[in-house]
Chain A
Amino acid sequence: MEWVRNRAASREFERFVAETSDPLLRTGFLMTGDGKDAEDLVQETLLRVARRWSRVRSMDHPAAYARRILINLVLHDADHRVRQRTELQPHKDAAEPSDENAARALREVDDQAEFRWALASLPARQRAVLVLRYWSDLPVAEVADILDCTEGTVTSTASRAAARLAEILAHAKPAAAKPAAPHP
């Protein structure tokens, strides 16, 4: 990012990139299921951070700000204003597996490609809830803040998404079905 003109400032920003790129890349990878897409997302995220650096650097958690941008970039690609409402509503007709069965389905996953494929099959906001809760290990309140919803919505979405994930893992045959592009 040589367009950051001040050499010393550029070194500092590179340090920020070095410190944050790994978790951002992994988050992007989980959200998109694709390493190249993850790099695209992270570079765009870092560009946005750089352009606002004078404000970002004074934040308590610059990396959390960057993570929020990344998640929102993924969600922005979806037709989120419509999808957000539908994805966060319960699928009344869906027969969800119990938590016990869902845990068993997850425990039996021995192929990470299978897990990523199942994850990519979830709608973007459900994926975001799971990634933020169980990869980034954020508290429910922080996830709710990032996704601009209530804590109750995060909790219920997490339950539903986990159940759906387990259902996909239990019934789908990823070897026969080529991993599909994730929801944008």
Chain B
Amino acid sequence: MPTDELEHELRRAFASAAAGYRHQEQARQRLLQRNYRPGRGQRRLTTGITAAAAAGSVALGLGLSGGLGSSPARGTGTIRTAAFTIIRNANGTATLTINPRVLFDPSTLQSDLARYGIAAKVTTGSFCSSAPAPSGFSQVVTGSPALQGNSGQQHVQNPTVTINPATMPAGTELSVGAFQVSNGYDTALALIDTSSYTCTGTTPTTPPASGALLHWNGSAGS
């Protein structure tokens, strides 16, 4: 078993290397195109597509059941992974703490937030927003240190964010988009209208409308 120090360096190196993969939003859109031929011919998809189309019976059910994340050790009321911790509070809110030195797996965080009743769209390298942005962000998300009104950029180490799903307007989700930056990563937060939103791979430099931009300092404690 590698030492803790070595495992820490491995996680850090992998997070940085994975963050080096760009254009995932464009890739995601391409993945939804039937005739997309992305590669160099080594792994052709034609056979699979043809077989599925010929069968004509790919029956997809409505709705997804179960979580989408991995299965880290979890205690009652707390989900703890190397990248983040979510604590369910007695009043129905959930407190999210991010480890800035381990880039989180967006699908894991998204599914774990969903377990606590928080509908979220979590991405890395992209951020989704609605125009106009739904109101009520400041009732849904509060921070420690406190966020600056309805929107504000915080430069703090290991901030915690408390989310109150009961105050989320119907038809909205919490958009959480993380971007690797030179000294950690920035995370943009905003409410989105689930029926109308767009995503961009551009790193935000200002807080989104009715949202917040948090800086998680990757050098914290090291």
Contact = CB atoms under 8 A, between A and B. Distances in A.
Interface of A: 1-6, 8-10, 12-23, 25-27, 29-30, 35-44, 46-48, 50-51, 53-54, 57-64, 73, 77, 99-100, 102-103, 106-107, 109, 112-113, 115-116, 119, 130-131, 133-139, 142, 155, 158-159, 162
A54 B16 contact: no
Interface string B45-70: 10011011101101111111111111
A20 B5 contact: no
B58 A53 contact: yes
Contacts of A30: 14, 17-18
B165 to A, nearest CB: 18
B170 interface: no
Contacts of B106: 19, 22-23
Among all A-B residue pairs, the 9 with the closest Cβ atoms: A9-B60, A40-B39, A39-B38, A106-B9, A63-B68, A135-B14, A134-B10, A40-B43, A29-B21
Contacts of B81: 137
A106 B70 contact: no
Contacts of B43: 37, 40-41, 44, 73, 77
B60 A12 contact: yes
B45 A47 contact: yes
Nearest to B125: A22
A42 B33 CA distance: 13
* Interface size class, chain B: 35 or more
Given A37-B43, A39-B30, A158-B1, 15 more contacts: A1-B34, A6-B60, A9-B62, A16-B64, A18-B28, A25-B27, A35-B22, A35-B23, A39-B27, A44-B45, A62-B64, A77-B43, A134-B10, A136-B105, A159-B2
Interface of B: 1-3, 5-18, 20-24, 27-28, 30-34, 36, 38-40, 42-43, 45, 48-49, 51-53, 55-56, 58-73, 81-83, 102, 105-108, 110-111, 123-126
The residue in A12, A26, A54 that gathers the most chain B C-beta atoms within 10 A of its C-beta is A26
A61 B11 contact: no
A57 B68 contact: no
Contacts of B45: 40, 43-44, 47
A174 B6 CA distance: 22
Contacts of B21: 25-26, 29, 35, 38
Contacts of A20: 68, 107
A43 B36 contact: yes
A61 B66 contact: yes
Contact of A134 (B7, B20, B32, B59): B7
Given A36-B39, A39-B38, A103 B58 contact: no
B9 A62 contact: no
Contacts of A17: 28, 31-32
Contacts of B8: 103
Contacts of A54: 59-61
Contacts of B15: 135
B11 A37 contact: no
A133 B6 CA distance: 12
Contacts of A158: 1-2
Contacts of B58: 3-5, 50-51, 53
B70 A37 contact: no
Given A13-B60, A30-B17, A43 B105 contact: no
A135 B18 contact: yes
Nearest to A50: B58
A54 B11 CA distance: 35
27 contacts: A9-B59, A9-B61, A12-B63, A15-B64, A20-B68, A23-B106, A26-B21, A35-B21, A37-B42, A39-B31, A39-B39, A41-B43, A47-B52, A51-B51, A51-B52, A57-B63, A58-B65, A63-B68, A63-B111, A73-B43, A99-B5, A103-B5, A134-B7, A135-B14, A139-B73, A155-B1, A158-B2
